[in-house]
Structure 1
């Protein structure tokens, strides 16, 4: 097969199809419920506003539930209207566990997002197909470049961008983007021609958010992060908020405030939260419904 490059992608009907979707939805029109279906910008992928995350402390929290406990949790989320599930290559067994948990549910009733680690010496096509096999899925609705944390990531990850676009040409990936950590990386998102979806750390306090040092132990720069979210939204990228509850550090009131901030101030399209109990899922739905009211 001829290598499918980013330049070729942008010149083909694939790019046209990707771009021919609606732009950002006005805040007033977004008000509704946590389980409403929204479109992630120019990707065209439709997901629930609230996602089920499998990466609490790199998936340790979810893995410790065991397969049966994790499956019950996934089914509780699904039965209560959450139809967007996200995982990552670096989350240990979570691709396999998620595939088991979703087995038997019609594939066209939910969406899966994965994130791939952009290592040297790894074949992108082989890795993406491996992740599909592990997750027991023919395709991923969204594939992100994971943990892009330097200012040079747009060029450093070029081989992986080409690999994801080649996978999209085979329809084993439907939408694509990157998760970014640190302000130097996030500053490269506005104007980026590869990104259809941006995954951004966002909450009202700055806990576990972006600063000059992506791994800072201090607080992130909330106003600058929000400014970049607004900029990419204006360019019709979909935005997914993460670290919404400060890596589990927030109490109930701050969890409410964080949800309100993410949607009303930052203006994200959806958020992903990691859970360890049905009660946490129920609370997240309640908090998001309140934020949208």
Structure 2
């Protein structure tokens, strides 16, 4: 197992963290089994968020309220607030502390804000974070974003100790620039979307790619013990890039080049109730994971909703990747109909 210091926080963590978003989808006992196995195999950094429904509560349940078996000081908890003003942040931190069953949070991150909060900017957001830090309720302050410009601003502000940003072998020069910018400023870099929202097929290649960046901490999102076992095996072997994995990465990059939906969901909700994060990447899903559920009546109904799109472009304004979502929806729908009719074979 490899331990690193998370930037200027000084926190010593296992280089591979646990992303607790997916445990929303499993029950308390199943999620507890996954979380405990991760901890018992060396993972000590657990990332959750106020926005992840019952994820915080499930971590508390898994760690039995941080009893002797799971001492609080041995577990680094990161959570997030979507608040952009003092009132909302103070409300969120109280709820998170109650949910987690703790009186402090090791790393508290502002969660994909629409701007980069700074001291005295009038929003009260950073001032609220600093006051929580000053009183010891939070130990470190972090920033998460999907937008390059905001991530860059946060790093150069000197106010944040960590940056959480999408990073995988499908990302490009801008993302690499953020990694190096974080390194130069001793900012801890936490990689979200390390499996590119599920589009990456090879977890081994994903692990090996990120593993060769000594300042990048991926938070692997798992909801099955089998998925966790894969990452634990790579950690135990210290899996490195080799020719075979590099060939896999090259092929994946070729298949997924250009604009594609990452499935972050920030475009939602849609006024016409279109499930954009599913429909806008259906073609990719079918080609990469050709399975019956993608073609059943329920999925067909979801795809037919694309016909209701009014091109209001609210989704475009909210998309952190500035994708032309109405156009992506159209392309996916036409492709989907051709697959259903047998015109295109997958």
TM-score normalised over the length of structure 1: 0.74
Q: For residue 83 of structure 1, report the CA deviation from its aligned partner.
A: 1.2
CA distance in 1, matches of 2:93, 2:204: 36
The alignment status of 1:276 with 2:223, answered yes or no, reads: yes
The match for 2:43 is 82
CA contact (8 A) 2:5 2:12 kept: yes
Deviation sequence 1:227-285 (CA, Å, 0-9, x none):
12101211111111110011122212xx22222322325x4331101111222112113
8 A contact 1:84–1:111 mirrored in 2: yes
Contact kept? 1:154, 1:188, Cα under 8 Å = no
- Secondary structure of 1:154's partner? coil
Alpha-carbon distance in structure 1 between the residues aligned to 2:191 and 2:241: 15
Between 123-132 and 196-205, report the one with greater CA deviation. 123-132
| Relative contact order higher in (CA < 8 Å, ≥ 6 apart) | 1
Query: For the Cα contact (< 8 Å) 2:155–2:181, is it kept in 1?
Result: yes
Contact 1:115 1:144 in 2 (8 A): yes
Distance 2:196 2:16 in 1: 16
1:108 and 1:120 map into 2 onto residues whose CA distance is 30
Structure 2 CA distance for partners of 1:162 and 1:120, relative to 1, 3 Å: closer
1:169 and 2:116 matched: no
For 2:11, which of 39, 42, 45 is the aligned residue?
Answer: 45
1:178-193 correspondence to structure 2 within 5 Å: 178-193=143-158
Shift of residue 53, structure 1, vs aligned partner? 1.0
For residues 105-150 of structure 1, give each alpha carbon's deviation from its aligned partner in whole angstroms, at most 9, with x where no partner exists. 11111110001112457343343122111110121110000013x4
Aligned counterparts of 2:74 and 2:148: Cα–Cα separation in 1: 36
The 5 A counterparts of 1:79-228 are: 79-103=40-64, 104=67, 105-120=70-85, 122-148=87-113, 150=114, 152-155=115-118, 158-206=123-171, 222-228=172-178
1:291 deviates by 3.0
- For normalisation by structure 2, the TM-score amounts to 0.63
Q: Is the 8 A contact 2:148 2:178 kept in 1?
A: no
SS at match of 1:204: coil
**Offset of 1:287 from its aligned partner?**
3.0
2:308 — aligned with what? Answer: none
Give the CA deviation at 1:183: 2.1
d(CA) in 1 for partners of 2:109, 2:199: 26
More helix by share: 2
Q: How many angstroms apart in 2 are the aligned matches of 1:49 and 1:285?
A: 12
Q: Which residue of 1 aligns with 2:187?
A: 237
Report the aligned-residue RMSD: 2.1
Decide whether the 8 Å contact of 1:45 with 1:174 is kept in 2.
no
In structure 2, relative to structure 1, the CA distance for the partners of 1:190 and 1:167 (3 Å cut) is closer
Q: Deviations over 1:24-79 (max 9, x none)?
A: xxxxxxxxx3xx332111111222111111113xxxxx223211111111111111
Q: Does 1:263 align with 2:229?
A: no
Q: Which residue of 1 aligns with 2:240?
A: 291
User: Which structure 2 segments of 5+ residues have no match?
Assistant: 243-346
1:91 to partner: Cα distance: 0.5
**C-alpha deviation, 1:290, in angstroms:** 0.5
Give the gaps of 5 or more residues in structure 1. Answer: 1-32, 57-61, 207-221
